[in-house]
Amino acid sequence: MEELGPHTAWSWGVVSGPSFADELVRGLPTAVTLASPDEAFAQRAAAVLHDGNLRVYTSPDIIGVSVGGALKNVMAIAAGICDGMEFGNNARAALISRGLAEMTRFGVCLGGKRETFMGLAGAGDLILTCTGQYSRNREVGLRLASGQTLEQILHSLGHVAEGVHTAHEVMRRAAQLKVEMPITCEVDQVLSQGQSPRKALENLLSREQKAETL
C-alpha cells in the first residue's frame, strides 16, 4: 500500500496462510486467505486460484494478513529453539499460544482485525510454521539450539529465513507503539545480540506471574 498509494488504479491483494510450497505443488489439500481492499477483485482472484485442492478465502484485512505472515516466522524460530532444547510438547504449545497473543496485540495496534489472527493467516500459518518439517525458520531455531552460529546457519541453509530479519524490525516498531512482545524480544536478542538460546527461554519462563490476556 505504501508503494502503490491509497488510490492506485491497480487492484491487488495479499495471499497468506498455512501453505508449504512442496505440498501445494503435489496437489495436497491447502487453504489460504486472500486479502484485498477491493472486494470484487478479491472474489475474482479467489475464483481463479480456487480449485479442487486449493481453497481460497477472502478478507479485507490487508494489515492483519500481512502481520500474521511476517510474525509467524519469528515465532517459528522460537519454536525451533524450544524443540532443539528438548523442552517438550507442553512448552511448544504454550509458546505457540502466547506467540499468537503477541502477534494479535501487535497487529491490532497497527490496525488489523483481531479475528484475522484466529484464522488461516494467523493461527493456521503459525501452527504450521512452528511445527512443520519444511519450515526454514523453525530450522534456524533448531540449529541455534544445537550450538551453530547464525552465520553458519544462514550460509548452509540455502533458503531465505524471513524471521531472521523480521524480529529486529518488529521490535523497533513495537518500541514505538509501546506493545509488549516478550517472545519476539528474546528471539531478537539471540539473533542480534548473541544471547544464548537457553538464556532466552529461561528469561521467558522467569517472567512475573500475570493474568492470561490477548
Q: How does pLDDT run across 103-129, given as a tens digit for each residue? A: 999 999 999 999 999 999 999 999 999
Q: Which of 5, 110, 26 is nearest to 68 (CA)?
A: 110
In three-state secondary structure terms, 113 is coil
Q: pLDDT, tens digit, for every residue of 129-167?
A: 999 999 999 999 999 999 999 999 998 987 788 999 999
Find the catalytic residue in 72, 113, 178, 210: 72
Give CA–CA dist 39/50, Å, rounded. Answer: 16
Amino acid at 164: V
pTM attached to this predicted model = 0.92
Residues 6+ apart with CB under 8 A from 160: 136
113 as an active site residue: the answer is no
Which has the closest alpha carbon to 189: 176, 179, 202? 202
Asked whether the beta carbons of 58 and 36 are under 8 A apart, the reply is yes
The Cα 4–Cα 2 span in angstroms is 6
* DSSP helix, strand, coil percent of the chain (3-state; round to 5): 60, 5, 30
Domains of the chain: 14-59 (no CATH), 64-119+132-204 (1.10.1040.10)
Does the pLDDT at position 99 exceed 90? yes
What is the reported pLDDT for 50? 83
Q: CA-CA distances (angstroms) from residue 36 to 22, 46, 57, 72, 133?
A: 26, 11, 11, 20, 30
Answer whether residue 54 shows pLDDT above 70.
Answer: yes
